[in-house]
Structure 1
Amino acid sequence: MTTIKERLDILKAGDVISSEASTIAEQAVQRLSSQTHKLLPQNKVEMLVTHLASALTRISRGESIDAPPDELILEIEKSDLIQVAKREISWIQSNWAEEIPQSEIAFLKIHYVTIFQEIK
């Protein structure tokens, strides 16, 4: 099984993500692990870290993506875990030099809420 760091190193080697994005993504997962004190769902964490590092790299490269469907965003916003997800995203925003677009934030909310639901 590939570790998070190995996954990020592969993406960096392929110039899919930047070193800065890799660092923030790795720190975000470390932060998540230290706060939950539970075994994290590996597959969902891998999706989060891949999306996060890719998103930050897209932002720095001036690229964008479309937001997820409105129905999905509304469903995630109703979750009782949305505030915890927003706290983690706020940490990412405070550690990234550029503004994170709402479309990327929406996807991050989905990833975080999904992880928190599984470990709840």
Structure 2
Amino acid sequence: MTDGRVTSPRTAQIAAEFAERLDMLEEAGQVTPLARRLTEFTVAELADELDVAFTEDNAAPFVTHLAVALTRLNRGEPGIEPSSVVDDEIRGRLRERDAVQRVMTECEKLLDRQIPDSEVAYMTVHLCAIADEEGTR
């Protein structure tokens, strides 16, 4: 992803799946256009890398959290505080953590800002819950 536009069939599928949710968040000013595109890209990349099917039914909280977190960062607001509970929850989940970190490293380039480890940890918690539900661990 280099310019925020849909770049793959998977990204287009994700954009369509979560269009209503992301439209609502963007129209309410809770999500920036860049954060929306980065959310679609991130979810598509994670779906491909981890072989997880993200749907409105299983990933609505994840997509919302991701879009809002990326918006905070896009607006220059501080990241969320670290949590030992979150860290404990994802301990040993290196595959998921590494996947989120890899995609967030790409997002950092467009945000022109580093994404704090605490944000990556919270994103990973959501991803792990979905992966466990889908049986992809």
TM-score, normalising length: structure 1: 0.79
**How far off its partner does 1:86 sit?**
1.9
Q: Which structure 2 residue ranges, 5 or more long, are not aligned?
A: 1-16
Q: Does 1:62 align with 2:110?
A: no
Change in Cα spacing, 1:102 to 1:33, as seen in structure 2 (3 Å) is closer
The structure showing larger relative contact order (alpha-carbon pairs under 8 Å, at least 6 residues apart) is: 1
Q: Percent identity?
A: 28
Question: How many residues are aligned here?
Answer: 116
Aligned mates of 2:58, 2:105 — CA distance in 1: 21
Quick one: which of 87, 91, 113 aligns to 2:103? 91
**Is the Cα contact below 8 Å between 1:89 and 1:108 reproduced in 2?**
no
The alpha-carbon distance between structure 1 residues 72 and 48, as it changes in their structure 2 partners (threshold 3 A), is same
- What one-letter code is carried by the residue in structure 2 that aligns with 1:23? R
Partner of residue 44, structure 2: 30
SS of match in other structure, 2:115: coil
- The answer to whether the 8 Å contact 1:24/1:92 transfers is no
Q: Which amino acid aligns with 2:44?
A: Q
Moved over 6 A (4+): none
Q: CA deviation at 1:66?
A: 2.0
Q: 1:40 to 1:17 in 2, by over 3 A?
A: closer
Give the letter for the 1:6 counterpart: E
Deviation at 1:73, TM superposition (A): 1.1
Give the C-alpha shift of residue 44 in structure 1: 4.0
* 1:108 counterpart = 2:128: no
Mapped pair 1:8 → 2:22? yes
* Distance of 1:107 and 1:40 partners within structure 2: 17
Q: Which amino acid aligns with 2:27?
A: A
TM-score (norm 2): 0.71
